Structure 1
Amino acid sequence: MAKPLLEFTDRGIYCDQGRFYIDPWKPVDDAVITHAHADHAYWGHKNYLAHHLSREVLYYRLGEINLQTVAYNEPVYKNGVKITLHPAGHVIGSAQIRVEYKDTVWVVSGDYKTDDDGVSDPFEPVKCHHFISECTFGMPVYSWKPQAEIFTDVNNWWQNNLQHDLATVIVGYSLGKAQRILQNLNMDLGKVYTHGVIENTNEALRRNGVTLNPTERITAESVKTEVRKGIILAPPSAVGTPWMRKFQPYSFGYCSGWMALRGAKRRRAADRGFIMSDHADWNGLVSAIDATGCECVYLTHGYTASFTRYLNEIGFNAKEVHTLYGGEEEDAGITEKEEKEETAELPDTERSPAVNDGQEAAK
């Protein structure tokens, strides 16, 4: 039996013919990277290949690595294997990896979302025989509202805080969500002040030629009374720290797909929870997989057991595989116990089979 073009190994997704790995989590000679989040882009590889808009963020996060960058649809050949990168819509510079050899095509999605956020290059379905997909939010309860509605709520909340002399702190992951928030704020309301981790990422993206709305880094010299007049953009790691408490009194908003489950906002001590994710929702996952026309789909992280079962029930050839992906939103993730508590009272139509039978943990 012929060896498949891509294999799942203890180091990552491997192409034996091309002698390269995709998003490997252990050091390898040749790594192709879908995007710069920490659970997909590890330090220690000899050579890296990624999209050119990931370049400066990868240098910022990993140091002086040996990095080759390419544009979308720009082919690279490794031992006869054709590699092209295609927009994933997840974060700036994110890519699906298309691998072709002797008329066989595999696509590795990395992380993706199907809605256009106006910041990342929009997701493009790529026809293939085999599709390796995430399913972070692979349960029907996860259904995202239009982005315009979300940011109408965000900006109204900010304006209301200003009227009540409350500082506004909004929390989102430093690569992806932070830039999406930034680009959709009503800049007429005030300045945007940033935590250092987010500003470092913004600066890396600006060095890469990405245009972002103006921001001001919060430093020891920042005047608290001035900062409180704007909006403060912070990473999840800042929640509950002395850094954040110094801006009291404030209203604190948390942006995450996990906010779709009741109680997530309360557990994070947030005043507002905004349901916002850089991953595809249930309908986005199903439509993206269907659009590939694939013969087989492999599910790498998220609600893998239940989503695999569902896809097989509706006619796909789906398989669950084990990888180390999925840690990038771990600060906002929920436990299996929390998931059961959250979904216990949901209508049956909003529960995945895994929630009903208690076999699947949230990632």
Structure 2
Amino acid sequence: MADLVVHRPEGLYCPPGDFYIDPWRPVDRAVITHAHADHARVGHGHYLAAASAEGVLRTRLGDMNLQTLPYGERILHNGVAVSLHPAGHVLGSAQVRLEHGGQVWVASGDYKVAPDRTCTPFEPVRCDVFITESTFGLPIYRWCDDSELFADINAWWSRNVLAGRASVIACYSFGKAQRLLSGVDPSIGPIIVHGAVEPLNRAYRAEGVELPATQLVTDVKDKADLKRALVVCPPSAAASTWMRRFGDASTAFASGWMQVRGNRRRGGWDRGFVLSDHADWPGLMRAIGATGAQRVIVTHGSVPVMVRYLTEQGLQAEAFETEYGGDAVEGDAQAAPDVPPDGGAAA
């Protein structure tokens, strides 16, 4: 029986449907799992994505020929039944379910199974073949509860307010920034966001996601507010002259990679907060098991480890070589848009 998804130079291709999933080269028809830069690229002729992804996709990619589909609704394309199901990764993220010729395949894109108030929770989808990421596909990666994480972040911010220092936390502009904002305590002080973050905040709010009030640094009237603010910006901005206006600030980085303390030291951050929009090791295993799939294809991350482990568990495991970048790509991909639309000159 022919595979429903194969690897091509352009990306992951569905032969009977004649379309691609998250292609990295321009193609005629692309199904997009979510709006991160390594999965959603410009230049495709026609895009299909989850309805809740429209705002963030248009914010990041501009004008496009975009068709949207509510979660769970099926369409038939060249005889292939296609539906999109929540991936729990970021706003509008989706798993792509394909059914054709008695087979069901699911391409998950990026996903997480932990709760997140900024996006629809991950939904296990039963299938014969599951295509999974493995960004944090090592047993050392195990996330703590959000309640513990945000208590730690709020305590750090509060201590900095008492010391008269700004609290600058670097994270990726789309997904991570909004999840961070949703969990902090705005009563501690003002919240300032970089110009790359605010347009995505607007897209989230337009989808009904509750976020605290935020402002651009050029909107700040009282300069004393800069000394007690929480500042949310992309990693590239934290290493730029944009930071000068905050003076002697305390810096932190929010990422799953902060699970390894050496990463914080190498980055020169004062603090590292373990916050990821990807599944940890237990989450990956739980998600894969919930699909009931006997064949699993691993796309990016700790691929050899995942393939070997799943094979040892009695599954048919293999890999697709892709150009997806996992949790690291957004820092590089956002470098150009990080010049804030508010002017951005260092004060």
Aligned residues of 2:14 and 2:20 also touching (Cα < 8 A): yes
**CA distance change for structure 1 residues 275 and 221 in 2, over 3 Å: closer, same or farther?**
closer
Shift of 1:59: 1.1
Q: How far has the Cα of 1:209 moved from its partner?
A: 4.1
Q: Which stretches of structure 1, 4 residues or longer, exceed 3 Å deviation after superposition?
A: 207-211, 220-224, 330-333
When the two structures are superposed, what TM-score results if normalisation uses the length of structure 1? 0.88
For 1:209-251, what per-residue CA distance to the aligned partner results, in whole angstroms no more than 9, with x for missing partners?
A: 4332211122287553223322111111112211013202111
8 A Cα contact 1:53 1:205, kept in partner:
no
Which residue identity does 1:326 align to in structure 2?
A: G
What does 1:58-207 align with in structure 2 at a 5 Å threshold?
A: 58-207=57-206
Contact 2:300 2:326 in 1 (8 A): no
Return the offset for 1:156: 0.4
What letter is aligned with 1:136? T
- Distance (whole Å) between structure 2 residues aligned to residue 328 and residue 152 of structure 1: 23
Asked if 1:321 corresponds to 2:323, the answer is no
Aligned partners of 2:278 and 2:327 also within 8 Å: no
CA offset at residue 207 of structure 1? Answer: 3.4
Deviation at 1:328, TM superposition (A): 5.2
User: Could you tell me how far apart the structure 2 residues matched to 1:116 and 1:220 are?
Assistant: 33
Aligned to 2:52: 53
Alignment of 1:234-313 (within 5 A): 234-313=233-312
Contact 1:236–1:331 under 8 Å retained in 2: no
Q: Identify which range, 103-112 or 202-211, moves more after superposition.
A: 202-211
Give the count of matched residue pairs: 332
Q: Which whole-Å CA distance do the structure 2 matches of 1:228 and 1:72 have between them? A: 43
Amino acid at match of 1:63: G
Distance 1:125 1:329 in 2: 25
1:3 lines up with 2:26 in the alignment: no
Q: Check conservation: 2:12, 2:22, Cα contact below 8 A.
A: yes
Alignment check: 8 A CA contact 1:304 1:320 kept: yes
CA contact (8 A) 1:308 1:319 kept: yes
Q: Work out whether 1:21 is the aligned partner of 2:20.
A: yes
Equivalent residues of 1:258, 1:332 under 8 A apart: no
Deviation for aligned residue 1:140: 0.7
Secondary structure of 2:261's match? coil
C-alpha change, 1:94 and 1:222, in structure 2 (3 Å) is: farther
* Structure 1, gaps ≥5 residues long: 334-363
Q: CA RMSD in A?
A: 1.6
2:118/2:209 contact within 8 Å kept? no
Question: For 1:174 and 1:217, how far apart are their aligned partners in 2?
Answer: 14
Secondary structure of residue in 2 paired with 1:196: coil
Alpha-carbon distance change, 331 to 95 in structure 1, aligned in 2, over 3 angstroms = closer
Structure 2 counterpart of 1:130, one-letter code = V
Q: Distance in 1 between matches of 2:66 and 2:209?
A: 19
Q: Cα offset for 1:16?
A: 1.3
CA contact (8 A) 1:224 1:247 kept: no
For the residues of structure 1 that align with 2:221 and 2:13, how far apart are their CA atoms? 48
Counterpart of 2:31 in structure 1 is 32
**Aligned partner of residue 83 in structure 2, secondary structure:** strand
The whole-number CA distance in structure 2 between the counterparts of 1:187 and 1:268 is 27
What secondary structure, in the 3-state scheme, does the structure 2 residue paired with 1:125 have? coil
SS at match of 1:246: helix
- Alpha-carbon separation, structure 2, partners of 1:83 and 1:275: 35
What SS class does the counterpart of residue 3 from structure 2 fall into? coil
- Equivalent in the alignment of 2:338: none
User: Percent of aligned pairs with the same residue?
Assistant: 48
Matches of 2:154 and 2:171 in 1, distance apart? 15
Per-residue CA deviation, residues 97-150 of structure 1 (Å, 9 max, x unaligned), is: 101113210000100011112221111111000000000000011111111100
| Cα distance, 1:331–1:111 mapped onto 2, change above 3 Å | closer
* 1:188 CA drift (Å): 1.1
Q: Which moved more, 1:256-265 or 1:322-331?
A: 322-331
Deviations 1:22-79 (A, max 9, x none): 1011111111000000000010001001111211211121111000111110112101
